[in-house]
Each structure stands twice: as C-alpha cells, then as structure tokens.
Amino acid sequence: MLVHPMGMKAWRLTGFGLDSLKLQDVPDPSPGEGEVLVQVHAVALNYRDKLLVDGDYNPRLEFPITQGADACGRVVGLGHGTSRFRLGDRVLTHYATHWVDGPAQGKESLYSLGNVYQGALAKYLVLREQALVNAPAHLSDEEAATLPCAGVTAWQALVEKGNLQPNDTVLLQGTGGVSLFGLQIAHAMGATTIVTSSSEIKLQGAQGLGADSTVNYRRTPDWEKEVLALTQKRGVDQILEVVGGENLARSVRALRPEGQISIIGVLEAADARLPLFTTIQKLAVIRGISTGPRVALERFIRHYEDWGLHPVVDAIYEFNDTVAAYRHLEQGPLGKVVIRIA
C-alpha cells in the first residue's frame, strides 16, 4: 500500500550561502525495493547544516540538494522487500545511513542526508529501511527529531566509547545540542558534570538540567584552572570537545591521568596545537567522534525513554520559515532548533 504525496515541496541548496537555500517544487518520491516512504513531520538542525550551507563541510557538494538530516515522521509507503516497519509507524532518520553496527571504517559519516543523499527538509522522504529507527513514544515529533545526530554523538562518545561510570566527572563545552545531550546522559547515569559557556543565562539553563558546576570562560579565560580547582586538582574523566583550535590544549590540561577527550566540533578552528609533553604525561586518550552506528542510536533511545528525558528545544519554526531557523542556528541556540513540516 502506498499513500502518494501531492504537491511535493523541499528546501534545496542551489549554491553555497544561505541566500541559495530555496523552497522549490521537486518530483514526488516513490519507494523502491528495500525503501520506505516517510511523511516528514519535523526536522532538527545541526551545526553541520550551517557548515554545509557555508561550503565548509563538503566543498564538492553537488547542487541542487535538499537539506536536513535529522527527521521524525510516519511511514506512508513501503517498497518491495521491506520488513522492519509497517504503515503508520513513527520513525526517525539515522544520520550515518550506511552505518548499522560494528566499528567504523572511516567513511560512515559521509553518507548522510543533505550531503550525499537528498535530505529531509521536504514534505516526504524516501530512505532505505536500514537507515530508520522507531521514534520514542514519549516525545513529540519536534522533540524526537533532535535525537539522531546530536543525541547519538553524545551517547557514542560518553558511553559506547567512553564507558561512562557513575563516579566519573564529565566536562561539557557549551550548550549546543551535543553538549546538552551529554549533560543529560551524564546526569542520568550518576556522573558529576561541569558545563562551560560564555553566557550566564545559558549556564543557568544548564544548571536546570542538572549541571553540578559551571564555568563562564569569558570571565575566566583560563577555564581549565577553574576546572582543576573544582576537581581538587585531579582533573575530569571525560571531555566533550566542541571548540577545537587552541581550546584543545586547555582540555588536555583539564584532564585527569588516562582521561578521555572526545573531539566532536570545530567551532573555533579545524586545526589545533597540543602540549605534547602534558598529553604524554597524562596518558591522555584523544578520540574523534562522528556520530555512531544505528544500533547505538537504538540503545540510546531505549535509555532515553527509560529515563523519561526530554531534549532541550530552543525554538520551533514553521516549514516556510526555514531560512529564519538557519539564522537562529547561526546565533548559537540553547539546545536545538527545529522546523515543523506537517
């Protein structure tokens, strides 16, 4: 059975720059073998989406291409040979569409919507059934759409790779989507949490989510010294590094011996200089994280449901106001920016 879409619209990038993000008519999608047709209800933006628009994420991006990777919707059509879902199921897209399970081979994060494949900022989306998961029942469509990239990235860093323990201390940098998911995960698992930001208002928001301590790095540029003081000079067990550049050296200094740094973002710069002697002396583990496999997303969702948590959504925009949503993303939201589609 197939519910055929009518009047298909999509936000497509026709060149680099936000002025090139256009609402256009596109051909109606139809699921092929092993594929699912999803009526998209909500799309959550990631910092990656800004990098794509700016030309920094994939300079070889082929235009035009529909944007948006993280979506929640309902199954309205099934191609031949599908078995994972039924009509009416509420589903989420998985960011790394080819990465189902097992260790990364190096290119998993490349095969994402809005980058290599047509994205989710459209009325309907066709995707291989292996790249979809069941949405958590306790979340709204707008809330659920925030989980696939930012949520699984924090989970992969702290739990799947970091083996987070209840007595650990975790440092979360900033109050973007990944960092706030990391804060929720660490707090729910009994870890001590420290959050850094340049905004007192955002730090107050982090405290409301369970942050044990906060550091304003604008008031305290040498924030790593404050972190060491907060941990009685021991240092933290894990750090979600989202800044890059010179900040990575401060993260190393804030780490305990054999602590772990998960490099997730490059808000300041894509290159960094390390204090090698300190890194060696501390036996520091520095690991790049680029989301995680589908099974990790499914494990994260099960725990998120068990904990009864809700993601932080800073703003919800309507489909026709997508450009305004991107401008909000550029300003650095507290949590996630979401676009409601249907």
**CB neighbours (10 Å) of residue 283?**
11
The three-state secondary structure class of 108 is helix
C-alpha to C-alpha distances, 61 to 51, 57, 117, 329, nearest whole angstrom: 11, 9, 10, 21
Q: Which phi-psi region, left, alpha or beta, contains residue 308 (left: φ > 0; alpha: ψ -120 to 50)?
A: left
pLDDT tens by residue, 211-224: 999 999 999 999 99
pLDDT tens by residue, 20-41: 999 999 999 999 999 999 999 9
- The mean per-residue pLDDT over the stretch 180-197 comes to 98
d(CA 233, CA 144) in angstroms, rounded, equals 39
d(CA 129, CA 114) in angstroms, rounded, equals 18
Token reading at 257 = 């011996």
Burial class, 199, CB count within 10 angstroms (exposed 0-12 / middle 13-18 / buried 19+): middle
Q: Is this model's pTM higher than 0.75 or not?
A: yes
Three-class SS string for 150-174?
HHHHHHHHHHHHCCCCCCCEEEEEC
Sequence-distant (≥ 6) Cβ neighbours of residue 243 within 8 angstroms: 173, 174, 265, 266, 267, 268
Indicate the DSSP class of residue 143.
H
Q: Comparing 18-32, 42-56, 63-77, 255-269, which segment has the lowest mean pLDDT?
A: 255-269
DSSP string covering 181-236? HHHHHHHHTT-EEEEEES-HHHHHHHHHTT-SEEEETTT-SSHHHHHHHHTTTS-E
- The β-bridge partners of 261 are 239, 286
Asked if residue 189 has pLDDT above 70, the reply is: yes
pLDDT tens by residue, 296-314: 999 999 999 999 999 999 9
- The β-bridge partners of 195 are 172, 214
Burial class, 77, CB count within 10 angstroms (exposed 0-12 / middle 13-18 / buried 19+): buried
Asked if residue 1 has pLDDT above 50, the reply is: no
**CB neighbours (10 Å) of residue 107?**
11
